[in-house]
Amino acid sequence: MIYICIFLLGISFGSFLNVLIYRIPRQKKFSFNRSFCPHCEARIKSYDNIPLLSYLILRGKCRSCKKRISIRYPIVELLNGLAYVFFFWNYGINLHFFAFSFLSSILIAIFFIDLDFQIIPDLFTIPGMAIGLGISLVPGGIGIIESAIGLVVGGAVLYLIAELGDRLFKKESMGGGDIKMAAMLGAFLGWQKVVFIFFASAVIGLVISIILMFFSRELRAKRVIPFGPFLAIAAVVAIVYGDKIISYYLNTFLGV
């Protein structure tokens, strides 16, 4: 029953993430406003706004205008629910569960917003830095020094990479949102994992970009692919496998 409750909590927050993902980049108010159809803007009744279930019952269509609703909505809810269950399964109800569940929700929102609009809202990253630093002070956290160093390393390294890219390509190569996101990740995870995230996101980004540009003429023409989703994927890898990968590297190559 506890797993079911955690999953329901996750998909409920996932439903709210859908509101943020849709409204924040469009500069629409998201507090105290009822959900509405993105096509006809008809208000969605409470019984049609049940996470996952309503989408299945309505077969992915608006009850009012009958136009298809993006499958992204149940995907976001499902991803968030599974993330919460995963962290509960690994950590139980403790600091790590709350910290990683909160961070995973932010990463899901950033992933889809940056994918569509090439922006990473400060609404997520700046409070995220403060929350990451605050969590580090709680017993069981990584510690304020580790968190502060992670924040500085995350922001500074990506800033230097952005500056280098700007000079090489004679145009903006990386936005300020990516830099703030890296700083936030450093505050939550510490400097070692944020360094791992840099390398992992670069590899993931290179592989996925080559595949996408090979199959998409539009991407080849634009030659612009947002970096935030790759940082988000690498951050999830760091959360789940970061300690094992870092330990393996230190033992294998440095003998530590």
Contact by Cβ (8 Å): 108, 169:
no
Both tokens of residue 55?
Answer: 């989408």
Q: What is the pTM of this model?
A: 0.90
Q: Per this entry, what is the length of the chain?
A: 256
Domain edges within the chain: 1-93, 94-256
Q: What is the pLDDT of residues 54-110, one digit of tens each?
A: 999 888 898 888 889 899 999 999 999 999 999 999 999 999 999 999 999 999 999
Residue 166 has pLDDT above 90, yes or no: no
Query: How does residue 161 score in pLDDT terms, banded at 50, 70 and 90?
Result: confident
At 30 the pLDDT is: 66
d(CA 228, CA 111): 6
C-alpha 218 chain-centroid distance: 25
Which residues, including other chains, have CB under 8 Å from residue 80's CB and lie 6 or more apart? 10, 11, 13, 14, 17, 104, 105, 108
Contact by Cβ (8 Å): 177, 126:
no
Q: What is the pLDDT of residues 197-215, one digit of tens each?
A: 999 999 998 888 888 777 7
Contact by Cβ (8 Å): 136, 187:
yes
d(CA 71, CA 60): 7
d(CA 145, CA 33): 40
Mean pLDDT of 133-149: 94
